[in-house]
Chain A
Amino acid sequence: MNAIIAILSSVISIVASWTRKKATWPLRVIHTVRLTVQQVRAGNRSVLDLAKTALGTGSALAVLAVLMFPLYWIFAASLSAGTGLMSTDGLFADPTTYNLDAYRWVLFESPFVDALRNSLVVVFVTVSVSMSVVIPGAYALSRHEFRGRKKILYGYVLFTQVGAGLSIATLIALYVLFNSVGLSNNLLVLGLFYAAGAVPFNTWLLKTFMDNIPVSYEEAAVIDGAGRWQVIREVILPLSKPGIAVVLVFTFLAGWNEFIVARTLLRPENYTLSVELYALATAGQYDTPWTQFSAFAMLFAMPVALIYFFAQSYVESGLSFGGMEG
C-alpha cells in the first residue's frame, strides 16, 4: 500500500513539474493580451491589425475543429451509454447524461482483457526480437565495412519507404506456409512476423542516427584502452538512447496496430485487440453497439496516443533523421 502511494505521488510530482515547465501558455496568453490592450490604448497598434490577427487565429481554430470532429464524436459517444445516441435527434448526447457505463462494459464484460493479454504477448515478441536484431544491425551498418554491406543497405532503404502493404500481399503465401506447418494460430509466430517487417525501417532509422555520433568519441575510448565490446557498451549504446527510444516506439506500434494479418492467421481465442475492435465495429449493419464500440476504441487507441504524445519530439526528430522529411 505504501509502495503504491509512493509511486502515485512520484508520478503526480513528475506530471506537475512537467506541466509547470511545458504548459506555460496560460501565463503567456495573459501577458500577450495585457500587452495588446496597452498597445491599442497607446495607439501603437491599429484595431484593423488586431482584427486581422483575430480573424487568422479564428479561422485556423475553425479548421482544426472541423478536422478533429471525428475524435470529438468518438470521445463523446464513449460517454453516452444508454442515452439514445444515434437513435434520437442530435449528434451528441446531453453532456449531463455522460457516464462511464460503456467503459465498465468493455473492462468487465467484453473480451477486452483477454485480447489485451494476446496483444501484449505479440507486442512483447515483436519489440524484443526486433530490438535484438535492429541494434546490432544498425551498429554494424553504421560503423563496420563488410562484404554485402551496400547491398543490405540498399535493400533496407527500398523497404524503408513502403513496407506495410507488402505484408498483405505476402500474407497469401504466408497463410499457406504457416498452415502447412501448423503455425498459423500462434501469437509468437505473429510477433516474429511483425518483427521481421519492422527490421528495414528501424535499422535504417537507427543507423542514420548512429552515423551522427562522432567517431572521435570511440577513438578516444580506444586510445584509453577500451575493447570492442566496451566501446559498444559504454559509448555507442548510451549515445544512441534517443534513437533506440524511437525504434522502441515504432516496433511497439507495429505489433499493437496491425489488423489484417492477425485477423487472417488467428482463431477467435487468440484474437488481439485490433481484431476484437473490428468484430465490435462490424457486429451489425444498423445495430452496431456504438457507445460500447467507442469505449473499446478509446481504450485501444489511448496507449498509442499517449506514447505518441510523450515521444512526439523524439518521433519528429526520428522522421527527420530517417530521411523522411523534405
Chain B
Amino acid sequence: MSTSFLERVSAVSQRRLPIDARNDNLFGLLLAAPGVALFLSFMLFPIAFLVYLSLTDATHAGTVIGGDATIVGLENYIELVTDAQFWTSLTVTWLFLAASLAIKIVLGLGLAMLLTHARVIGKRYMRAVVIIPMGLPAIFIVTVWRGLFSGARFGPFNEILASYNDIITGVVGLFDQAVFFAAVSAPELLLVDLPISWLSGRWSAFLAYVMTEVWLAYPFMVIIIVSALQDVPMELHDAAKVDGAGYLYRFVHVTLPAVKRPVMFASILTAATSFQQFLIPWIFNGGGPSRQNELLIVYGYREAIELNQYAFASAIMVTAIAFIGLFMWLAVRKGDLAAGVNGA
C-alpha cells in the first residue's frame, strides 16, 4: 500500500525538465540536502540519543555528559512496566484521548451540519468565526482556559454555576408561591456546591482537560467535515426526500457515508496530537492532583527535568515515540485511503 501511495504522490513530479539527467541528479540532491541535514541533526539524532540514554543508568544531566553512565540494557523498561505511575499515566492518556475524540467528533459533526444547513443565513461568516481557535497560539488558549477554571469563588465557571443556582432557586421559589399550602424549597440535588476547585479534584481536572482539548481541536474537525459535506450533491438529499426518507434516515444513509472517511482521517490526526498533549495538564495543575492526571509526555518530562531520572525518562519517551510512530503510520495509510492524497 505504502509504496503505491508514494508512487502516486511522486507521479506528478516525475515529469522532469529536459535538462541533462546526470547533472540533474547531483543538483537535486544538493538542493534537498540542507533541509534533510537540519532535520536529521535536530530530530532524528536526538531520538537516537534518547534510545541510547534509555539503555543506560544516567540520573541527571551531569552523569550523561561526564560519561559516568553505563549501559544497563533493558533495566529501565523493566522498571517502567512495574511502575504503577506508568500504568496510571497510560490509562489516563488513553481515557483523555477517547473522551476528547468522541466529543470532538460529535461537536464537529453538529457544527458542520449546522453551518452548511440551508436554513442558516450568513454561514460563510459563521464558519470564519467558528475556526478562530485554530488561529490562536496553544499557550494562549491553555492559559486562558486555566483562568476560566479558576477555583476562586469568582472564577468564571464558578460564577456561571452560581447564576445557575440562582435560576433554580428562583424557579422553585415561584413554584413555592404557586403551591401556597406546602412549603417547597430547592432540592439539594439540583444545586451545585460552590466554589468548585476545578483543578484540585481528579475528575473535575480531567473534565477541564477534555473541555480545553476539545476547544483547541474542534476547528480542524469542522473544516474537514464542512468540506466533505459540501461535496455531497444536493440531488442525493432531494432524491432521498422524494423517496420519503425521514431526517434520521437521510442522516444515516446520505450524510454519514459522505463524512466517514474524512472524519476517520481527521480523528487519527487529532488523536495523535491528543496523545502528545502536554500543555494542558502541565499548565493547569502539572498533571495533578498527586500525579493522577499525568499524561504520558508530562510523566516523562517530570521524571527527567524535575526528578533527574534521565535514563528512566528516556525509556518513557521512547515508549511514547513508539506510540506516536504508530499514529504516523496509521495517518499515512488511512490518509491515503481517505483523501487519495490531494494534489498528487
Contact = CB atoms under 8 A, between A and B. Distances in A.
Given A144-B27, A211-B344, A86 B150 contact: yes
Contacts, number: 345
A167 B144 CA distance: 23
A144 B28 contact: yes
Nearest to B336: A323
A162 B120 contact: no
Interface in A250-303: 253, 256-257, 259-260, 264, 274, 277-278, 281-282, 285-286, 288, 290, 293-294, 297, 300-301
B68 interface: no
Contacts of B324: 162, 165-166, 169
B6 A154 contact: yes
Given A196-B43, A326-B339, A278 B283 contact: yes
B42 to A, nearest CB: 3
Interface in A61-84: 61, 63-64, 67-68, 70-71, 73-74, 77
Contacts of B123: 60
B170 interface: no
A57 B119 contact: yes
A295 to B, nearest CB: 12
B291 to A, nearest CB: 18
Interface of A: 25, 32, 52-53, 55-57, 59-61, 63-64, 67-68, 70-71, 73-74, 77, 86-91, 129, 132-134, 136-137, 139-150, 152-154, 157-159, 161-162, 164-166, 168-177, 179-180, 192-193, 195-197, 199-200, 203, 207-209, 211-212, 215, 218-219, 222, 228, 231, 253, 256-257, 259-260, 264, 274, 277-278, 281-282, 285-286, 288, 290, 293-294, 297, 300-301, 304-305, 308-309, 312, 316, 319-326
Given A86-B155, A144-B31, A259-B279, A176 B65 contact: yes
Contact of B143 (A146, A192, A196, A278): A278
B66 to A, nearest CB: 9
A59 to B, nearest CB: 7
Contacts of B21: 145
Interface of B: 2, 6, 9-10, 12-19, 21, 24-32, 34-36, 38-39, 41-43, 46-47, 49-50, 53, 61, 64-65, 111, 114-115, 117, 119-123, 125-126, 128-130, 132, 134-141, 143-148, 150-152, 154-156, 159-160, 215, 223-224, 227-228, 259, 261-263, 265-266, 268-269, 272-273, 275-279, 282-283, 297, 300-301, 304-305, 310, 313-314, 317, 320-321, 324, 327-329, 331-332, 335, 338-339, 341-344
